[in-house]
Amino acid sequence: MSEPLAPQHGPQPDEIAQEPPATPAARLARWQDAGGVLVPVATGIFAFLIGGVVIAATGHNPIQAYWDIIKGAGFNWLAHPWNTDVATTAAYNFSQTLLQTTSLILCGLAVAFAFRCGLFNIGGNGQYLVGLICANWIGVSFVNMARPAHILLGIAVAAAAGAAWAAIAGFLKATVGAHEVITTIMLNWIAYWIGNYVFLQGGPLQAPKNVPLDVPISADVVPGAQLPVFWGIPALQGLHIGFFIAIGALVVFWIVLNRTTLGYEVRAVGYNPDAAAYGGIKVRTNYIRAMAISGAFAGLAGGIDMLGYLHHFGTIDVQATSIGFLGIAVALLGRNTALGTGIAALLFGGLVYGTTHGLQSGVIDPSLAGHLTEIIQGLVVLFVGADVLILAVWNSRRKLRRQGRVAESGQPKPETAS
């Protein structure tokens, strides 16, 4: 007895899987398996859907809430982009979203670059803080320096500090095999307490003149070290040229990975360290170097945030900083690619700014509004981590359906042939 079944796209035996895909459909399937755009898009949609369920559970209309977030993030400005006047709410909101996007791109790249070398850099937040602290130190010192030189120095020192901070984890991994997840988390705490120390009363960076001594806050970066603002008003957190640095970093990331021998080594080590070593690549050197480059991106984020719009920082700000962690979600959703990271950063940038400014406390519980970003961030990390699981569930469902079909067609009782 034969079961007329449609060709199944189930798991294939090895001997078939090794054949080159012969049809466009097979190629499409393989491309999706390899992590095409569909997976991250589905992940994002899933995360937002469940976020919507959370909103609905609090008794609000999720569609209204998301619309408010979109408007709060200024995405409606894209409908009439010729009006760049920040006096209009949409344009102002969008400039603020881009401000968030700027640091998220760099924090996302920090995670993505390490990932491409097979390392999970959880330490973006610490590297960001170290960069930010150094930029504040440079920005309040060297008062008489020429502006371009002062800015360049601040940015360079911030990136170098982030690189050095992350390289510690890379060095420990390369020499004693300490796992980078553990070491970067520890380095986050060290950076956190350094931040608390330097801005605390009497700390080296606490402002002695500008503010009363009992405020744990730094002095402002001098105007000569502040990044020029190109959209909006500097006093109102205008969008600074750091935005272009972030866009440039995306391009550099792509070029380094795909067009340099350094990137070739990073990818080889990330995919298969044994084969890389066999190929003559120094795997340990690559771990240290990739972590350093990774940390440079995060340190750069801290540096341009400080010189771009924060200008000063306090212990409370240190304690509230979590943008480095958001970088993990950005990189994961962006599949560790340049373009993906850019898009994911814009999405999260809108979410960060939109939830804090778009949702009115009368409509949505303010505590929920503030945490919605974090809920969605958590869901994204969960779903990205679980996409293997989702695929497995998907496959087993298909198998069940197949068995169900067999059961429906009656128990396969042995019949006498001929």
Taking the C-alpha atoms of residue 247 and residue 106, their distance in angstroms, rounded to an integer, is 9
Bridge partners for 306 per DSSP: none
Among candidate residues 170, 106, 66, the one with its CA nearest the CA of residue 327: 106
Q: Which two tokens stand for residue 265?
A: 């080594």
Binding characters for another protein, 271-310, by CB under 8 A (x = yes): xx-xxxxxxx-x----------------------------
Q: Which of 268, 296, 338, 352 binds another protein (CB under 8 A)?
A: 268
Confirm or reject binding of residue 322 to another protein (CB under 8 A).
no
Taking the C-alpha atoms of residue 360 and residue 179, their distance in angstroms, rounded to an integer, is 44
Residues 239, 230 contacting (CB under 8 angstroms)? yes
Q: Which of 88, 231, 267, 374 binds another protein (CB under 8 A)?
A: 267
Residue 314 phi/psi, 5-degree rounding, is -135, 175
Residues 157, 134 contacting (CB under 8 angstroms)? yes
Least spacing, CB of residue 266 vs another protein, in Å:
12
Nearer to another protein, 212 or 414 (CB): 414
Taking the C-alpha atoms of residue 118 and residue 266, their distance in angstroms, rounded to an integer, is 8
Residues 97, 349 contacting (CB under 8 angstroms)? yes
Confirm or reject binding of residue 1 to another protein (CB under 8 A).
yes
Taking the C-alpha atoms of residue 79 and residue 253, their distance in angstroms, rounded to an integer, is 30
Confirm or reject binding of residue 388 to another protein (CB under 8 A).
no
Residue for token digits 């035996």?
13
Confirm or reject binding of residue 37 to another protein (CB under 8 A).
no
Nearer to another protein, 138 or 296 (CB): 296
**Quick one: which segment of 136-144, 262-270, 287-295, 357-365 binds another protein (CB under 8 A)?**
262-270
Q: Which of 79, 214, 261, 388 binds another protein (CB under 8 A)?
A: 261
Number of residues that bind another protein (CB under 8 A): 52
- DSSP-based three-state secondary structure for 240: strand
Among candidate residues 355, 374, 373, 369, the one with its CA nearest the CA of residue 75: 355
Alpha carbon 147 to chain centroid, angstroms: 31
Residue 108 phi/psi, 5-degree rounding, is -65, -40
Residue for token digits 């993505």?
112
Confirm or reject binding of residue 259 to another protein (CB under 8 A).
yes
Least spacing, CB of residue 113 vs another protein, in Å:
16
**Quick one: which segment of 19-27, 128-136, 345-353, 355-363 binds another protein (CB under 8 A)?**
19-27
Binding characters for another protein, 347-386, by CB under 8 A (x = yes): ----------------------------------------
Confirm or reject binding of residue 26 to another protein (CB under 8 A).
yes
What are the b/e assignments for 107-127, b being 16+ CB within 10 Å? bbbbbbbbbbbbbebbbbbbb
Confirm or reject binding of residue 144 to another protein (CB under 8 A).
no
Q: Which two tokens stand for residue 100?
A: 């968030």
Nearer to another protein, 276 or 338 (CB): 276
Nearer to another protein, 26 or 153 (CB): 26
Nearer to another protein, 18 or 144 (CB): 18
Least spacing, CB of residue 276 vs another protein, in Å:
7
Confirm or reject binding of residue 25 to another protein (CB under 8 A).
yes
Nearer to another protein, 32 or 367 (CB): 32
Q: Which of 124, 126, 195, 263 binds another protein (CB under 8 A)?
A: 263
Taking the C-alpha atoms of residue 132 and residue 268, their distance in angstroms, rounded to an integer, is 32
Residues 181, 115 contacting (CB under 8 angstroms)? no
**CA torsion through residues 327, 332, 337, 339, sign:** negative
Among candidate residues 145, 128, 89, 184, the one with its CA nearest the CA of residue 300: 128
Q: Which of 262, 363, 382, 390 binds another protein (CB under 8 A)?
A: 262
Taking the C-alpha atoms of residue 205 and residue 151, their distance in angstroms, rounded to an integer, is 18
Contacts of another protein in 199-258 (CB under 8 A) = 258
Binding characters for another protein, 390-409, by CB under 8 A (x = yes): ------------xx--xx--
Confirm or reject binding of residue 415 to another protein (CB under 8 A).
yes
Least spacing, CB of residue 117 vs another protein, in Å:
13
Residues at the site binding another protein, with contacts judged by CB under 8 A: 1-5, 7-9, 12-16, 18-23, 25-26, 29-30, 258-264, 267-268, 271-272, 274-280, 282, 402-403, 406-407, 412, 414-418
